[in-house]
């Protein structure tokens, strides 16, 4: 009856083969996992863009006060068809009723409150976010932000 004789060299050779296969498997598993996680992240995340309502104020040498209301930042960039949440916080000014030209999006931003505007614009172009209270120079405006879609 033949016996399986294992000498030191054979044992070391088997160990090396086993370790090579094991580390290759672990490497493949880890690699697959990280790819999967990355894919889930990119499909589920809706990008947030934060904006505030601001006010510039100054006193002229003759004592007269001048002021101007602003969306800040004044220009934002989104991709065509991209889902974005525009989060606008009211800081200066009591109320800013707004609409986005060329869309049916409208709403109101109130001092101390957050207004979330979901955006998904499918046509390229520059869309104006207009405040209807401060729409012209006479009303301390124009309070307009530009949404660049490309």
- In terms of C-beta density within 10 A (0-12 exposed, 13-18 middle, 19 or more buried), how is residue 97 classed? middle
- Report the nearest approach of Cu ion to the CB of residue 120 (Å): 24
State the nearest-atom distance from the C-beta of 88 to Cu ion, in Å: 11
CB 90 within 8 A of CB 79: no
Q: Is 88 in the site for Cu ion (CB under 5 A)?
A: no
Q: Cα separation of 47 and 57, whole Å?
A: 32
Q: Which is nearer to Cu ion, 76 or 96 (CB)?
A: 96
Using rule CB under 5 A, residue 70 touches Cu ion: no
Choosing from 76, 131, 147, 149, the residue that interacts with Cu ion (CB under 5 A) is 131
Provide the b/e sequence for 57-77 (b: ≥16 CB within 10 Å).
eeeeeeeeeeeebbbeeeebe
Residue choice 78, 86, 100, 143 for contact with Cu ion (CB under 5 A): 143
Interface stretch with Cu ion, choices 6-14, 26-34, 39-47, 136-144 (CB under 5 A): 136-144
Residues forming contacts to Cu ion in the complex (CB under 5 A) are 69, 96, 131, 133-134, 143
């Amino acid at each position: 009856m033949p016996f399986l004789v294992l000498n030191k060299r054979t044992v070391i050779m088997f160990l090396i083969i086993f370790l090579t296969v094991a580390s290759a498997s672990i490497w493949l598993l880890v690699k697959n996992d990280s790819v999967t996680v990355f894919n889930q992240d990119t499909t589920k995340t809706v990008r947030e863009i934060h904006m505030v309502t601001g006010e510039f104020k100054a006193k002229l040498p003759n004592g007269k006060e001048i002021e101007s209301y602003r969306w800040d930042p004044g220009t934002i960039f989104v991709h065509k068809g991209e889902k974005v949440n525009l989060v606008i916080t009211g800081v200066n000014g009591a109320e800013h009723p707004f609409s986005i030209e060329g869309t049916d999006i409208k709403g109101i931003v109130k001092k101390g409150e957050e207004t979330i505007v979901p955006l998904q614009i499918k046509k390229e172009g520059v869309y104006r976010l207009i405040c209807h209270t401060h729409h012209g120079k006479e009303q301390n405006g124009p309070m307009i932000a530009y949404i660049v879609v490309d």
